[in-house]
């Protein structure tokens, strides 16, 4: 797997850490992801993703101060490295490129469908307008055109 390819969940974790900035530790990362995905996330899955991202050099971590609230345990805070920021920009560029390609295919497909509607109307017009309007209505609804 190349550096510019990561599993989707790891991309989400990386971007969530970037958004949280200096307050990115286990619980806040988990809450941030669950809020964005609108579904529960397995804590073990998050811990594995954080470890993998750190091993790959996209994240770095440090331990915070011990607090009495946590029984003397310290929080592990995560930050995005420069390499992680560079990779995040690459993800964005790839997604934009894929989205533009997808839009081009959809537009070309819609133009082709509209052309066929036009041809059908000319061919069938003499045999009955009721059929033409019914067929055009189905096509119009199927294409979700205004």
**Better pLDDT: 91 or 53:** 53
Whether the predicted model's global pTM rises above the 0.85 cut? no
Q: For each of the domains in the chain, give its residue range(s) and CATH number, in order of start.
A: 8-80 (1.10.10.10), 97-143 (no CATH)
Q: What is the mean pLDDT of residues 17-33?
A: 92
- Give the pLDDT confidence score for residue 59 in this predicted structure: 95
Give mean pLDDT, residues 63-77: 83
With bands split at pLDDT 50, 70 and 90, how would you rate the model's confidence at 58?
Answer: very high
Task: State how far the Cα of 82 lies from the Cα of 69, in Å rounded to an integer.
Answer: 33
Structure tokens at 137: 């209505």
Q: Round to whole Å and give the CA distance between 135 and 120.
A: 9
**pLDDT tens figures, 98-129:** 877 877 776 676 665 554 444 444 444 444 44
* Number of other residues whose CB lies within 10 A of the CB of residue 75: 18
Determine the Cα–Cα distance for residues 48 and 46; give it in Å rounded to an integer: 5
């Amino acid at each position: 797997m190349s550096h510019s390819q990561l599993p989707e969940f790891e991309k989400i974790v990386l971007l969530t850490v970037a958004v949280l900035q200096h307050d990115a530790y286990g619980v806040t990362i988990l809450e941030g992801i669950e809020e964005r995905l609108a579904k529960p996330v397995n804590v073990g899955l998050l811990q594995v993703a954080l470890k993998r991202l750190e091993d790959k050099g996209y994240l770095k971590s440090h331990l915070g101060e011990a607090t009495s609230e946590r029984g003397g345990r310290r929080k592990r805070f995560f930050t995005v490295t420069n390499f992680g920021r560079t990779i995040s920009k690459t993800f964005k560029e790839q997604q934009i490129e894929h989205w533009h390609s997808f839009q081009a295919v959809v537009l070309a497909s819609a133009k082709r469908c509209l052309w066929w509607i036009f041809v059908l109307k000319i061919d069938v017009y003499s045999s009955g307008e009721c059929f033409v309007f019914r067929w055009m209505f189905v096509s119009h609804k199927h294409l979700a055109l205004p």
